[in-house]
Amino acid sequence: MTTMVSPRKPVVLYPSPGMGHLVSMIELGKLFTARGLLVTIVVIDPPNNTSATGPFLAGVSAANPSISFHRLPQVKLAEADLPEMITFHLARLSNPHLRDYLARTSPAILVVDFFCSAAMDVAAELGIPAYFFCTSGAQVLAFFMHLTVLHRESTASFREMGEELVHAPGITPFPASHSIQPLMDHHGPAYKELLDVSAKLFRSQGIIVNTFRSLEPRAVDAIVAGLCTPPGLSTPPVYCIGPLIKSEEVGVKRGDECLAWLDTQPKASVVFLCFGSLGRFSAKQTREVAAGLEASGQRFLWVVRSPPNAEDSAKTKFEKPAEPDFDTLLPKGFLDRTKGRGLVVKSWAPQRDVLAHDAVGCFVTHCGWNSVLESVMAGVPMLAWPLYAEQKMNVVFLEQEMRLAVAMKGYDKELVEADEVAAKVRWVMDSDGGRMLRERTLATMRQANNALRKGGESEAALAGLVDAWVHA
């Protein structure tokens, strides 16, 4: 296709609902506007939308006048068992509204989120070059590009395979039990949706990935060499332009309490525990974490969210949970006993700013890819505690391939016990192994910064992509 990007023809970015995907797409938009492109981000609202993104988007618009937002009309949605199915349904039902908008604005390029693959049909109909943006790493992308091949090779569901290892070119084999939930049933509707996404990756003009090659060289090289591509298909160009992380906290409370408290703590002395916008523990697990932190003797900053309840559904995933009640949730006297060396905050902290603070020496994380990259960019070693999505896959890659994390034993069981929390926290903060983990993380941080510098691998990939658009 020969459509050329010009000042009058915008690049349209189409993220799926969910703050993690939206933030990554916004950061991608900032990279494009810095190179003189006009960017519009098309937003679809999730069901039961609480307008929580409103202030955030307003803040982004105010700080970045070259980025505009367009909200598609809300669509009516039937109930679904899995949050991923909600997102797939939303994108498909929004296609008529997206078609109207794109036909009216005639963008030069459409960049779609992995879960908005239904938009590829609209792009093809209107003759708009379409690219995928992968908000996960290259190893997850390699797996999904190879999914069609895996599907043909076996009729067994990942759930039935249990601890049997899944193999794909360029990635560390991982237990089938660690695959994402929608792939567990070989015959389920979510599995079929993801197979469809896998096929559509090869219909795109290219795939933009939020990683840098030197972080995941085996996976990137396997993808580029076509080793992950099913027979008979062509491998689209792949552009590793990361790490993209949130460049500022806008439109949200600033979390001054966290940062002011960190200012009073010694360098690299604080364990930071935060599990993403959707990560929630049972009351029992929360008490185990508290007991483990108290027993560890380490300083800590812990973001606590309300436990899930029986009424939660796929739709309520996008709703803001109630604020946690520390009096009923935490062990009696815990806050008093840990006063001074620990700070517990409700629901939210400015994660990027906290990780960048000199006082933080360890990050206990769910291993969402945005969090992984923020940790890498801050040079903070990770204790891995995956919860949902592709996070269990990420843990295998982080621990065995990149060697940037150590996993909490029991994350794949019903409970991570207090003794394990205490032991692993002490290990990262006080042992020779923990110091080596920190040194590897700092070395990777330097690689990441080099990738983003002018002439670095990620900067060059981005420049090549934009030049191809401008001079098409």
pLDDT in tens, 322-356: 899 999 999 999 999 999 999 999 999 999 999 99
pLDDT (0 to 100) of residue 147: 97
Q: Of the residues 113, 178, 353, 366, which is catalytic?
A: 113
Could you tell me if residue 235 is left (phi over 0), alpha (psi between -120 and 50 degrees) or otherwise beta?
beta
Q: What pLDDT is attached to residue 53?
A: 77
Residue 342: the pLDDT is: 98
Q: Which residues of the chain have pLDDT under 70?
A: 1-8, 48-52, 80-81, 249-255, 310-319
Q: Is 178 a catalytic residue?
A: no
Domain 11-247+450-470 has CATH 3.40.50.300: no
**Please, which residues have CB within 8 angstroms of residue 134's CB and are 6 or more apart in sequence?**
114, 140, 141, 207, 208, 209, 210
Q: Cis check for the bond before 266: say yes or no (omega within 30 of 0).
A: no
Active site residue 21: yes
| pLDDT of res. 84 | 83
Q: What is the pLDDT of residues 397-456, one digit of tens each?
A: 999 999 999 999 999 999 999 999 999 999 999 999 999 999 999 999 999 999 999 999
- Considering the candidates 21, 89, 178, 366, report the single residue annotated as catalytic: 21
Residue 204: C-alpha distances to residues 176, 181, 383, 470 (Å)? 28, 25, 36, 18
| Domain ranges, ordered by start, for the chain | 11-247+450-470, 256-448
CATH architecture of the domain 256-448 equals 3-Layer(aba) Sandwich (3.40)
Domains 11-247+450-470 and 256-448 fall in the same CATH topology: yes
Contact 344, 326 (CB under 8 A): yes
Helix axes 189-201, 83-93, angle to 10 degrees: 60
**Per residue in 228-250, pLDDT tens?**
999 999 999 999 999 999 887 65
